Amino acid sequence: MDYTQAKQRIEQLREILWENNRKYYVENAPTMSDYEYDQLMRELEDLERAYPEYASRESPTRRVGSDLETGFVKYPHQYPMLSLGNTYNIGEVEEFAERASKSLDIPFSYCCELKFDGTAICLTYRYGRLFRALTRGDGVMGDDVTANARRIANIPETLQGEGWPAEFEIRGEVLMPYESFERLNRQREADEDPLFANPRNAASGSLKLQDPEEVANRGLMCTLYHIPAGQVDFPTHDEALKAAARWGLPVSDERRLCKDIEEIEAYIAHWDTARKELPYATDGIVIKINEMDAQRQLGYTAKSPRWAVAYKFKAEQALTPILSIDYQVGRTGAVTPVANLEPVFLSGTMVKRATLVNEDQMAMLDIREGDWVYVEKGGEIIPKITGVEESKRVPGARRPPFPTVCPDCGTPLVKPEGEAKWFCPNNDGCPTQIKGKLVHFLGRKAMNVLAGDATVDQLYNLDLVRTPADFYDLRESQLVMLEGWKERAARRFLDSLRESRNVPFERVLFAIGIRYVGETTARDIARHFGDIDSLAAASKEDLLSVPEVGEVIADSVYRFFRDERHLEEIRRLKAAGLQMSVSQTVGRVSDALDGKIVVISGNFSVSREEMKALIEANGGKNSGSVSGKTSFLLAGSKPGPEKIKKAESLGIPVLDEDAFRKLIPEGTASATVTEESEPTLF
């Protein structure tokens, strides 16, 4: 791999990992397994070591994912909440133990614990009462979910016993037991709401609800496993947790003290089987150095403690026959093969269907009709087929033919260059794609209208709705005449449509459903152009000046706005009263940088995300590349030499951080937690 290829792969991996972080932490809808994610992270770590000139403080190898959301007050963690190094190889656990032995000059032991598959939480108790509960957030700042934490039954409002400090933090996970998860999904199915993929996603989504009373109904539980060093004065991690248990805090009693690697391996072997009997999800074992003095000696990397490692269990697997194969068309036109299975219980849920991904994957597995297949939930998330048990194959079983035309509208399928999937190109005429786009438009992350798949199916089949704009032409008198509609249901639906007129432009743009334009990209594009008319008139070069927008996205957006059908739809949505420009007041604290296009490069006293937010808060726009339209290049320490060179060649001013801060009013920059704060686990 040459330097150019290495740089391209590093940038590609960072983009993939940050996007999955957003889906995992914010949307609670991950699209890859933990194992796949960890393998990509390891590849990125190896490349950054081999090519240190491309290392960055903003790399996902050095920063934890973020679950920060709008709608919550944010507070800094007293100590950053870091992540753990993961391994699926017992040999690497042995290497961890060997490194500890060589590095430490004092006796030490290990404390082994279950790795709970939930969502992280940090509780602060002040004078024996629950004072604050924060999510992990971005590791430095967390969302305040105190009101919701008070509704979790086993989190005590008041501590018991004596000996607790006047103020301290304790960290752990909020979990949703399997029983609560099944009950919640049954209710969501009845309400036509999207189902949660697994208990972890359900727990995370529940903890971020705006209604604490609804949180109380979700059946959540909490387990705590770490008090940051310096918060309490105990010689070992285990003794700190025993004290927490005496104070009435929900600490797991399944941990074990181990003196050597043989005892660690025995603990892992036991729980790899015994975890299947637990009422909640676990996905591995955490091995920690038990003695606090030893932890302090070993210290931390930028992202993880050196005194702990997580061993991840291999995904649970089951063997079951394929009953049939469906070919599903998504809203983007992608055709995905899905196997219908003899139902099998796996990782806490009953699995009836599993993706076969694409035609290439089917060929690689050599799938035949009636095959018995191995199914697993990668990272306990999405069921997928990983192999075939050929000993159970019926003689003469044939390979299922992949369709050559759309299974819904009959249009010949196409396979774009560089894509692994086949697509139906009939984007605006294929019924399944149309309905998928309508469901997407109404979704919670888009227009947040109270309707689901069944409503869209009914309205589409009755020819009442064909495009999103049609929703805004519906009347109560029409709806109450339909099967299953009462006056109350019709009013709720129409009221939510009325409220959607207040949804900000960023989400409207996401809701429209331009291919490759996700939630984050829609926000960046909306803020860059300001309004729909400017965006519609943009050239490909204009689109490429938006940070994180590459050739594929730019081409998709450009072509979308060159289609007269799409322009007519935009005109109708605008006439319906939807927001088609960015609010000038949202997040704005001054107009000091109004009209300025700023490119940032290098490291600053705050994170790059905070610096970008500061530019936008003062009216400026961020761009990812230097061009003739750039107002100035904001250069921190170790800026990219190519950007400096290009700015100088174009006569673009280069400002350092001090000069930049003189351009904006005092007091507009929020205080940040510096990296000198003592780090701690979780």
Rounded to the nearest 10°, the torsion over CA 56, 74, 147, 492 is -90
- Give 373's Cβ-side CA count (13 Å radius): 32
353 has which bridge partners?
340
Cβ(507)–Cβ(446) below 8 Å: yes
Please identify which of the residues 115, 208, 435, 612 carries the catalytic annotation: 115
Active site residue 208: no
Cα separation, 630 vs 648, whole angstroms: 12
Q: Which amino acid is it at 135?
A: T
Classify the C-alpha dihedral 405-409-411-416 as positive or negative.
Answer: negative
Cα separation, 95 vs 103, whole angstroms: 12
Strand 334-346 with 317-329, pairing: antiparallel
Q: Which two tokens stand for residue 105?
A: 């000059």
Cα separation, 22 vs 24, whole angstroms: 5
Interior CA angle at 220 toward 30 and 285, to 5°? 60
Cα separation, 244 vs 378, whole angstroms: 34
Cα separation, 273 vs 500, whole angstroms: 49
Strand 621-623 with 597-601, pairing: parallel
Cα separation, 383 vs 53, whole angstroms: 39
| Percent of residues in the chain assigned helix, strand, coil, to nearest 5 | 35, 20, 40
Angle between helices 261-274 and 90-103 (to 10 degrees): 150
Residues labelled as active-site residues? 115
